[in-house]
Amino acid sequence: MNFKIGDVLIPNQFVLAPMAGICNEAFRLICKEQGAGLLMAEMVSDKAIAYKNQKTLKMTKVNEHEHPISMQIFGASVDSLVLAAKFVDTCTDADIIDINMGCPVNKVAKKSGAGASLLKDPELVYEITKAVVNSVSKPVTVKIRAGWDKSSINAVTNAKLIEKAGAKAITIHGRTRADFYSGKADYNIIKEVVEAVNIPVVGNGDVIDIHSAKEMFKTGCKAIAIGRGALGNPFIFRELNSYFNDGIILDKPDNKEIYDTIMHQYDLLLKLKGERLANLEMRSHIAWYIKGKPNSSKIKEEVFRQNDFNKVKEIIANYLL
């Protein structure tokens, strides 16, 4: 089932959630090929854009095969977020601009007052969203959490203000900032947000398979953002599309397909980042791809000892094929 964010048509209800250090072009393309309806790039700093940091500017590049794609910005200042949004609006091929108000990590939320820290000040949430919306032509969305902690759950208040400010959709993770990723996401809070606003709500948190997706859809959310559930398992997007669109439960990928996907992702990373960084980044992804398989811990250790990907390729081929 498709839906729209502003004037951008999203072909299905399954979104790749932004993950820092993971959602680069290579991983995004893998997820797109597996059926992700909307890709979200890893967040970029408003200050880094303002200072024209070349590494950050490179992260805003969009491959022609990635559409529709959302570029996520983070910061704590209205002016610098507006500047960053204008850059994404006019200097990138992103279709949507997303403001991060949900990141829980200390570097973002505590030290810089960005990410989930903004949730403590609903007036600032409104001011930032309105200023960004008024400064760009592309649809603006906002990513939030349930609140800062259990004593300050204010997702409904923030969601209403975000809608009032002109945002075209909201993604809500059903945990507080204090929760980080512990415990379970509270789907009741997501349901409350869905019922409080008229713009599309994208539910986020703990969706790893068909069963958990069914539970998330009970909130009434328009779509589901999948982050950690896609690590080592980009196939989740095709599985969910097959089930919810056609009622068909697909077989899990066999070892040959997992091997081929690992190699395909490495080739994409090699073109994107060069041999040294591609080798380093693929170590983690390989660990995710083989997690839960027999003797995978030993294979992971072997992979992490290698600097030559040809040797890694040999280890994985002997293990999977």
Angle at which helices 296-304 and 275-290 cross, to 10°: 170
| DSSP labels, 143-185 | EEEEESSGGGB-HHHHHHHHHHTT-SEEEEEEEETTTTT-S--
Question: 37 and 124 in one domain?
Answer: yes
Q: What domain range includes position 262?
A: 255-320
Question: 206 and 295 in one domain?
Answer: no
Give the model confidence (pLDDT) of 275-302 as tens digits. 999 999 999 999 999 999 999 999 999 9
Report the C-alpha gap between 202 and 1 in whole angstroms: 14
Question: 312 and 180 in one domain?
Answer: no
Question: 95 and 19 in one domain?
Answer: yes
Question: 44 and 19 in one domain?
Answer: yes
Task: State which of 226, 246, 266 marks the end of a domain.
Answer: 246
- The domain tally of the chain equals 2
Counting beta carbons within 10 angstroms of the beta carbon of residue 107, is it exposed (0 to 12), middle (13 to 18) or buried (19 or more)? Answer: exposed
31 is catalytic: no
HSE-up of residue 192 (Cα within 13 Å, Cβ side): 15
pLDDT value, residue 109: 82
Strand, coil or helix: 279: helix
Question: 279 and 240 in one domain?
Answer: no
Question: 259 and 122 in one domain?
Answer: no
State what percent of residues in the chain have pLDDT above 90: 96
| CATH number, domain with residue 63 | 3.20.20.70
Given the structure tokens 């967040």, which residue do they identify? 43
Question: 209 and 86 in one domain?
Answer: yes
Does residue 159 surpass a pLDDT of 90?
Answer: yes
Instruction: Identify residue 46 by its one-letter amino acid code.
Output: D
Give the model confidence (pLDDT) of 179-210 as tens digits. 999 999 999 999 999 999 999 999 999 999 99
Residues 6+ apart with CB under 8 A from 107: none
| DSSP labels, 212-226 | HHHHHHTTT-SEEEE
Residues 6+ apart with CB under 8 A from 293: none
Report the C-alpha gap between 243 and 141 in whole angstroms: 27
Question: 169 and 283 in one domain?
Answer: no
The one catalytic residue among 23, 31, 91, 103: 103
pLDDT value, residue 144: 98
State the DSSP H helix or E strand holding residue 49, giving kind and residue range, or none if neither.
helix 46-50
Task: State which of 223, 246, 269 marks the end of a domain.
Answer: 246
Task: State which of 246, 263, 291 marks the end of a domain.
Answer: 246
Question: 259 and 123 in one domain?
Answer: no
Question: 199 and 264 in one domain?
Answer: no
Which of 107, 90, 110, 108 lies closest to 99, judged by CA? 108
Give the model confidence (pLDDT) of 28-82 as tens digits. 999 999 999 999 999 999 999 999 999 999 999 999 999 999 999 999 999 999 9
DSSP 137: S
Does residue 111 surpass a pLDDT of 90?
Answer: no
Question: 99 and 57 in one domain?
Answer: yes
